Amino acid sequence: MIRRRPQLLWLLLPYLLFVAALPLVNSVPLLVLWLFGATVLTPCAVGLARRGDRR
């Protein structure tokens, strides 16, 4: 499926920002900034996936 629709890999970005990188940011102010940035970038990643997946 990914071979036919590689643009869907953009949807991994929010997952990686929210889940995989949380152990790396362990101070509270950085955590708040990290989560805010991830929240702002999530619609961008979804938009890029949607733009590439239009048929």
Q: What is the pLDDT of residue 55?
A: 61
User: Per-residue pLDDT tens for 1-55?
Assistant: 557 788 888 999 999 988 877 787 777 788 888 889 999 999 999 999 999 887 6
Strands (E), the chain: none
38 CB neighbour count, 10 Å cutoff: 19
Coarse DSSP helix, strand, coil percentages of the chain, rounded to the nearest 5 percent: 80, 0, 20
- Is the pTM here over 0.85, yes or no? no
Question: Hey, what's the torsion of the CAs at 23, 20, 42, 39, to 10 degrees?
Answer: -20
